[in-house]
Structure 1
Amino acid sequence: MPLKDECCLCKRVLPYSYLRRCQRCGHLYCRDCMVSDVTTSDFKRMFCLHCARKIVSPQPFSKYGALTRHLKFRSAFTNTVKLSFAEIDGIISDNLPMSAYKTESWWSNMPTNAHAKAWLDAGWNVHEINLKEGYVVFKKINNLKTKRYRRKVSRGEIKPFTPVRVRIPKSNKPSKTRVSKLYARLKNLERQRASLPTYPGSFKPKPKHEKILFKPEKKPQ
């Protein structure tokens, strides 16, 4: 049977030969859920419908994101931040809307508003607003819930720490067996030399092969 897999978009189970891998996200999709490259119209590069939508109509970037990053940076040093409207214009690199200069309701801590979400996501609240002098005071939220990743500890018994076994490199020294064999061989040679008879003067006994090959009466002169 051919291998089968599921399309990540329409959830249909099809043979593996009918599925293609998206060049952007890397997931498997069927041919109905894929289109060619929308930027170059290259049929060899196939994108899924999700990735094609992100390329054609990307999500708009919030202009208040710079304010969020600024408040997160200031949270490490202080609990209150006073910013003028001109300073906020410089941080976001754009002008605030006219309602921010005229009404205090624009500065309300409502998470449904995009501009209010900028300081709420950073962990700050608008504590004071002064439209006459043109400044706003942010105060840090103390009970901000942050995600903390804790290491999972097993409920069973904690095993003692066992160090990793270290491999000792082998030395180039000969083994004890080899040394003992060589020592025994030297001892045997010493015994053989000690068992040979000693003769005075320069007399040397005849070797064995000479005794066998030549007899005393037939020895060549």
Structure 2
Amino acid sequence: MKDECCLCGRVLPYGYLRRCQRCGRLYCIDCMIADVSTNDFTRMFCLNCARRSVSPKSGSKYDALSRHLKFRSAFTDTVRLSFSQIDGIISDNLPMSAYRTESWWNNTPTNVHAKGWLDAGWTVQEANLKDGYIIFKKSKVVKAKSFRKRTSHNEIKPFTPVRVRMPKSNRPSKTKVSKLFARLKNLERQRASTPVYPGSFKPKPKHERRLFKSEKKPQ
């Protein structure tokens, strides 16, 4: 006996398939992982259920389908998606009623799942439950929301002059000027305190004065 993996779509013998402990559907070994919270290898989850348990998302899970259809609207007018592809887009499994009844795929704006493709500007053209695929058709062009504030043509905006930056002056600050004047005053006082000798006579430095005393003369 053979069966199909609900995630990758491969047809394998029944012995190579395992049943997810959360959603109860059959998956191949490559599309399953042990329980990430307890690392219990006896409890196997599919990748969609494991992803949802690790990083739960707020809001509707069909928002990802809406974003996917908005992206495809720039290239084509019709999109064919299988059930396994839709499961991968929404990172979750579709309910069992989506596989059994065609009324689940009706374009009813009150349904949460139908708003996923209606808000993106798409409608369901064909729902083939036997072969397991859905054909979406673009009904209108949805523009991206702009957050710019709209202004009417009659509204007159007040004149706002452009701010002009004044160039910085190269004049020194008052602190630098005061320090310079203080240094000049100190130099003048130092020059006034030193005695001035006539001619080319220069006083002896201090280390020469210590060699000989004033009352003794060298022999």
Q: Which of the five TM-score ranges fits, normalised by the shorter chain?
A: 0.3 to 0.5
Q: TM-score of the superposition, structure 2-length normalised?
A: 0.42
Structure with max Cα Rg: 1
Q: TM-score of the superposition, structure 1-length normalised?
A: 0.41
